[in-house]
């Protein structure tokens, strides 16, 4: 009830806001992350700024974070048109045909993804299943994901018997290393670690600093694995009401974001790594056999999850990606 009231209040506030003199079109966007998770938020921050710059203020995006609508509940308000846009990860709506989650198992090659038909497949799938138009499919960095822990790895190079937070896409890796997956919203990780509800958490490789996870977990498992893809969608009905030149701006900026974001994300990761080292966070390296294991399990488990949630599209998408040598 409080969340619904918060949503209503946010919308009332939005309606009451004066529109700038230059803006002709304003789009309301739901983001699955807030600025407190800066490394994952950066792609949408860039997109918002670049759209405003490219359109010379004629096209504005107003961002509402997960404090207004929780990540696992954001798909419906955008498909129904309460909000115009969505910045998210497919795993947050895995139970509702979130096929975009498997992009984390598909090699991040912007041109090849597009020429092979992978990008177009995701676009058409979301248009048909959710009434959403894909405008960008960037990776937050080249570093992907990691697991951070309260205690170091065991002598065998795993964390057998420990409870590790992770959304569905991480479950294969957590189990392969002997852990038990626990599903929790990202905003609850700190408290759960502090109280001993969990022993570690799977999360994008950057973000441990801004979310202050380093205060309750001092060990980071390395190397990182996978690639974190964070798509941006527009409600299809709202897309149809945009001017052709506005649509072009959203798509052109989306392509720019795909090409420039990984390198920027890597730079953010480097700054965070340096600062965490000063704060006493230690890297714990997996042995080679475990590295080989999680790389294999990561891809296989993501495709398995996708097959379960999206049987009507998973097989075709995998065939496209396999033909282009973009996945295993």
The predicted structure's pLDDT at residue 42: 98
Per-residue pLDDT for 2 more than 50? Answer: no
**Confidence band, pLDDT 50/70/90 cuts, at residue 4:** very low
pLDDT digits (tens, 9 = 90+) for 192-202: 999 999 999 99
**Confidence band, pLDDT 50/70/90 cuts, at residue 20:** very low
The predicted structure's pLDDT at residue 168: 92
Per-residue pLDDT for 11 more than 80? Answer: no
The predicted structure's pLDDT at residue 14: 45
**Confidence band, pLDDT 50/70/90 cuts, at residue 9:** very low
Q: Are the C-beta atoms of residues 154 and 160 closer than 8 Å to each other?
A: yes
Mean pLDDT (the chain) is 93
pLDDT digits (tens, 9 = 90+) for 88-111: 999 999 999 999 999 999 999 999
pLDDT digits (tens, 9 = 90+) for 133-158: 999 999 999 999 999 999 999 999 99
Count the neighbouring beta carbons within 10 Å of the beta carbon of residue 195: 9
The predicted structure's pLDDT at residue 306: 96
Per-residue pLDDT for 1 more than 50? Answer: no
Domain with CATH 3.40.190.170 in the chain: 2-141+228-267, 145-226+277-310
pLDDT digits (tens, 9 = 90+) for 226-269: 999 999 999 999 999 999 999 999 999 999 999 999 999 999 99
Q: Are the C-beta atoms of residues 107 and 6 closer than 8 Å to each other?
A: no
pLDDT digits (tens, 9 = 90+) for 265-287: 999 999 999 999 999 999 999 99
Burial of residue 190 (CB within 10 Å: 0-12, 13-18, 19+) is middle
> What span, in angstroms and rounded, lies between the C-alpha atoms of 102 and 326?
12
The predicted structure's pLDDT at residue 18: 43
pLDDT digits (tens, 9 = 90+) for 28-41: 999 999 999 999 99
Q: What value does the mean pLDDT take over residues 297-311?
A: 95
> Three-class SS string for the chain?
CHHHHHHHHHHHHHHHCCCCCCCCEEEEEEECCCHHHHHHHHHHHHHHHHHHHHCCCCEEEEEECCCCCCHHHCHHHHHCCCCCEEECCHHHHHHHCCHHHHHHHCCCCHHHHHHHCHHHHHHHHHHHHHCEEEEECCECCCCCEEEEECCCCCCCCCCCCCEEECCHHHHHHHHHCCCEEECCCHHHHHHHHHHCCCCEEEEECCCCCCCCHHHCCCEEEECCECCCECCEEEEHHHHHHCCHHHHHHHHHHHHHHHHHHHHHHHHHHHHHHHHHHHCCCEEEECCHHHHHHHHHHHHHHHHHHHHHHCHHHHHHHHHHHHHCCCCC
The predicted structure's pLDDT at residue 156: 94
Could you please state the CATH topology (level 3) that the domain comprising 145-226+277-310 is classified under.
Answer: D-Maltodextrin-Binding Protein; domain 2 (3.40.190)
> Residue 4 is encoded by which pair of tokens?
């619904």
Under CATH, domain 2-141+228-267 is a member of which superfamily?
A: Bacterial extracellular solute-binding protein, family 7 (3.40.190.170)
Per-residue pLDDT for 23 more than 70? Answer: no
**Confidence band, pLDDT 50/70/90 cuts, at residue 214:** very high
> What span, in angstroms and rounded, lies between the C-alpha atoms of 307 and 94?
11
Per-residue pLDDT for 121 more than 80? Answer: yes
Per-residue pLDDT for 10 more than 70? Answer: no
């Amino acid at each position: 009830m409080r969340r619904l009231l918060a949503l209503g209040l946010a919308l009332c506030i939005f309606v009451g806001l004066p529109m700038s003199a230059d803006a002709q079109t304003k789009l309301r966007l739901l983001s699955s992350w807030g600025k407190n998770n800066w490394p994952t938020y950066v792609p949408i921050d860039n997109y918002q700024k670049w759209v405003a710059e490219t359109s010379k203020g004629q096209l504005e995006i107003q961002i509402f974070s997960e404090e207004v609508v929780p990540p696992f509940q954001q798909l419906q308000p955008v498909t129904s048109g309460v909000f115009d846009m969505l910045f998210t990860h497919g795993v947050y709506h895995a139970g509702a045909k979130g096929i975009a989650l498997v992009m984390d198992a598909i090699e991040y090659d912007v041109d090849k993804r597009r020429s092979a038909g992978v990008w177009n497949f995701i676009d058409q799938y979301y248009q048909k299943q959710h009434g959403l138009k894909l405008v960008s499919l960037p990776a937050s960095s080249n570093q992907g994901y990691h697991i951070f822990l309260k205690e170091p790895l065991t002598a065998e190079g795993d964390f057998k018997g420990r409870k590790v937070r992770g959304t569905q896409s991480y479950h294969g890796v957590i189990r392969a290393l002997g852990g038990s997956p626990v599903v929790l919203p990202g905003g609850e990780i700190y408290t759960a670690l502090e109280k001993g509800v969990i022993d570690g958490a799977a999360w994008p490789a950057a973000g441990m600093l801004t979310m202050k996870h380093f205060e309750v977990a001092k060990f980071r498992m390395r190397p990182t694995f996978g690639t974190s893809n964070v798509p941006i969608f527009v409600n299809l009905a709202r897309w149809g009401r945009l001017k052709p030149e506005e649509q072009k701006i959203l798509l052109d900026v989306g392509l720019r974001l795909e090409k420039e974001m990984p390198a920027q994300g890597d730079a953010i990761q480097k700054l965070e790594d340096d600062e965490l080292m000063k704060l006493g966070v230690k890297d714990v390296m997996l042995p080679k056999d475990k590295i080989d294991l999680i790389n294999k399990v990561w891809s296989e488990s993501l495709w398995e999850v996708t097959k379960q949630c999206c049987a009507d599209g998973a097989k075709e998408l995998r065939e496209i990606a396999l033909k282009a040598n973009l996945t295993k």
